């Protein structure tokens, strides 16, 4: 079949590898077609093949990218190997249309296993699962999907482990997408925004809302999970308890972290920590020294290379040992600068600033951003001072428009939500940082005096903030999805165009 497919294309395949899924008796389901579409559109594979049927009824559905028509090309082959023949080919980004086309071609498809009337593979809903000690029959877990409100993450992970399944678990929440890969029931790789491996699993355990689906796929060679799953689930449960405890004591990225004791010796500090949870003393000392009783939690974490699963236990220990506490920031408006004998009309500054912003959102315009970027680049050329660019793509992922969103076509945020987003980011960024529109529907931050390590920390913190932010004018039925790309001068190059392009490439390769 491969040789026929190559002849049909009339050109050599790219360097990307093809993907062949295990053969099944059932017709391809909507969920499987969606997975094929995502794999092809994301350029992970040159083509994806799904064999199905029961001899002598052998078929194979092949999905690939149609470069000429700019869509996904679906090819149905009858038979297998060199004896196969092309039944039809359709270019469409609508997998539901392809599913309807297949079902119409095979009415009354006779399967050996239990199926739905629509021709989809067997589905086990979350509220039908038995999560006790009984053996899980993998035959009925070929397509596992449901809602985390009916099946919590720990039970979901253990169900897949008990079934010794191989494939990918995908969980879509309002603000993030998690992917966990299993080889014969063993979790080997996990990735969410801002984390992967063990850290990602620990954070994932705390998720309480989202839709999940398991996709049977070949084994992966990725290996980022080092610890046993049961240990990570225990760590995750402890992490959730500590995070909730801190929230009850005023935790927030905008909260000011203050020391409880005005003066304290190192010996007294270590004595108080002795009653804690045994976290690394040196790490707690470094964090404590960074506290100046004026900086917010976001500002302190910006200078600390700590993941969320590291700083939450650290803060929990410092709070419970009576060393720090959280204060809400002063909400009063900052007064205009005042200098003795000065006759400058500072109101003119606000007028000039207003002319550079978009009235509906309060953010700097894209041309204004380019102007500030040019000025910062001139300063870099003259004094070799580092700076960084952060590009943010954020939009709405509607349930009934998930197909377009996963193809990279998120629906833009409403203006009220954009304005709300600006307020959130303005509260955590420095005054010297510039937040602006970027091109048409994206957003950008210019961070002066920020090197590669510092912008990496900033993006980690920004990701954590966005994942817990609820924007105004967003329907409960909608999900907000985002991606962040960044680059720095001079670490990522000395040419402004190259660095900006690198930030964009990292945005789309997240």
220, 306: one domain: no
Considering the domain boundaries, does residue 17 fall inside one?
Answer: yes
365, 492: one domain: yes
> Strand (E) positions, 419-464?
434-438, 442-448
Q: Copy the structure tokens of residue 29.
A: 């389901």
Neighbouring CB atoms inside 10 A of 488's CB total 23
155, 27: one domain: no
Neighbouring CB atoms inside 10 A of 376's CB total 22
Domain-terminating residue out of 105, 134, 164: 105
154, 229: one domain: yes
**The pLDDT of residue 396:** 87
443, 369: one domain: yes
Mean pLDDT, 10 residues at a time, over the chain (510 residues)? 43 61 89 89 83 82 78 83 72 83 64 34 42 40 74 90 90 89 95 92 93 90 94 94 94 93 92 86 93 93 89 94 89 50 75 92 95 94 94 80 50 92 92 94 95 91 89 82 92 86 76
**The pLDDT of residue 367:** 95
Considering the domain boundaries, does residue 196 fall inside one?
Answer: yes
Instruction: Label residue 199 exposed, middle or buried (CB < 10 Å: 0-12, 13-18, 19+).
Output: buried
| Structural domain of 15 | 2-105
CA distance 258 to 329: 11
Domain-terminating residue out of 327, 357, 386: 327
360, 463: one domain: yes
CATH code for the domain in which residue 426 is found: 3.30.70.270
**The pLDDT of residue 429:** 92
433, 410: one domain: yes
User: Roughly how many angstroms between the first and final C-alpha of the chain, as a whole number?
Assistant: 33
CA distance 66 to 5: 13
134, 172: one domain: yes
Q: Measuring CA to CA, which residue among 170, 38, 191 is closest to residue 510?
A: 191
Helix (H, G, I), strand (E, B) or coil at 58: strand
61, 158: one domain: no
133, 95: one domain: no
Residue 293 DSSP symbol = S
Backbone angles phi, psi at 467, to 5 degrees: -70, -20
285, 370: one domain: no
Q: Determine the length of the chain.
A: 510
Task: Write the pLDDT tens digit of every residue in 185-221.
Answer: 999 999 998 889 999 999 999 999 899 999 988 999 9
Considering the domain boundaries, does residue 451 fall inside one?
Answer: yes
DSSP string, 414-427: PHHHHHHHHHHHHH
Considering the domain boundaries, does residue 273 fall inside one?
Answer: yes
Considering the domain boundaries, does residue 116 fall inside one?
Answer: no
In the chain, the number of structural domains is: 4
**The pLDDT of residue 114:** 31
**The pLDDT of residue 85:** 74
Instruction: Label residue 92 exposed, middle or buried (CB < 10 Å: 0-12, 13-18, 19+).
Output: middle
378, 486: one domain: yes
Instruction: Label residue 259 exposed, middle or buried (CB < 10 Å: 0-12, 13-18, 19+).
Output: middle
Considering the domain boundaries, does residue 117 fall inside one?
Answer: no
Considering the domain boundaries, does residue 269 fall inside one?
Answer: yes
**The pLDDT of residue 389:** 96
Q: Copy the structure tokens of residue 455.
A: 């912008």
Considering the domain boundaries, does residue 29 fall inside one?
Answer: yes
**The pLDDT of residue 69:** 63
**The pLDDT of residue 13:** 41
* 432, 382 Cβ separation under 8 angstroms: no
Model pTM above 0.75: no
């Amino acid at each position: 079949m491969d040789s026929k497919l190559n002849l049909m294309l009339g050109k050599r395949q790219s360097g990307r590898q093809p993907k062949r899924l295990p053969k099944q008796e059932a017709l391809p389901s909507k969920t499987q077609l969606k997975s094929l579409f995502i794999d092809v559109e994301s350029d992970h594979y040159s083509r994806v093949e799904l064999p199905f049927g029961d001899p002598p009824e052998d078929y194979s559905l092949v999905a690939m990218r149609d470069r000429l028509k700019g869509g996904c090309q679906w090819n149905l082959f009858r038979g297998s190997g060199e004896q196969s023949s092309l039944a039809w080919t359709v270019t469409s980004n609508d997998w539901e249309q392809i599913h309807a086309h297949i079902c119409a071609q095979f009415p009354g498809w006779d399967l050996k296993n239990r199926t739905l009337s629509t021709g989809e593979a067997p589905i086990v809903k979350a509220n039908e699962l038995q999560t006790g000690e009984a053996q899980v029959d993998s035959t009925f877990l070929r397509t596992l999907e449901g809602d985390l409100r009916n099946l919590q993450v720990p039970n979901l992970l253990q169900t897949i482990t008990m079934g010794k399944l191989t494939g990918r678990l995908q969980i879509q929440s309002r603000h993030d997408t998690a992917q966990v890969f299993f080889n014969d029931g063993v979790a080997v790789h996990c990735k969410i925004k801002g984390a992967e491996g063990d850290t990602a699993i620990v954070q994932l355990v705390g998720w309480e809302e989202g839709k999940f689906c398991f996709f049977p796929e070949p084994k992966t060679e990725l290996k980022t999970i080092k610890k046993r799953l049961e240990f990570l689930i225990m760590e995750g449960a402890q992490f959730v308890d500590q995070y909730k405890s801190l929230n009850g004591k005023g935790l927030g990225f905008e909260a000011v972290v203050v020391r409880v004791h005005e003066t304290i010796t190192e010996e007294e500090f270590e004595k108080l920590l002795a009653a804690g949870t045994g976290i690394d003393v040196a790490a707690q000392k470094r964090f404590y020294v960074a506290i100046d009783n004026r900086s917010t939690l976001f500002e302190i974490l910006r200078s600390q290379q700590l993941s969320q699963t590291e700083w939450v236990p650290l803060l929990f220990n410092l709070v419970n040992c009576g060393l720090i506490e959280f204060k809400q920031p002063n909400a009063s408006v900052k007064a205009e600068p005042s200098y003795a004998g000065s006759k400058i009309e500072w109101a003119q500054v606000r007028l000039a600033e207003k002319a550079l912003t978009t009235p509906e959102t309060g953010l700097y315009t894209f041309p204004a951003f380019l102007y500030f970027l040019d000025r910062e680049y001139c300063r870099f050329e003259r004094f070799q001072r580092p700076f960084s660019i952060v590009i943010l793509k954020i939009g709405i992922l509607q349930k009934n428009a998930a197909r377009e969103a996963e193809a990279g076509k998120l629906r833009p945020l409403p203006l009220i939500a954009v304005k709300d987003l600006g307020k959130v980011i303005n509260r955590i960024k420095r005054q010297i940082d510039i937040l602006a529109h970027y091109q048409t529907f994206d957003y950008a931050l210019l961070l002066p005096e920020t090197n590669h390590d510092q912008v990496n920390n900033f993006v980690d913190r920004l990701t954590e903030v966005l994942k817990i932010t609820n924007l105004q004018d967003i329907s409960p039925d909608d999900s907000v999805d985002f991606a962040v790309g960044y680059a720095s001068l001079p670490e990522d190059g000395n040419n402004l165009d190259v660095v900006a392009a690198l930030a964009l490439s990292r945005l789309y390769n997240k």
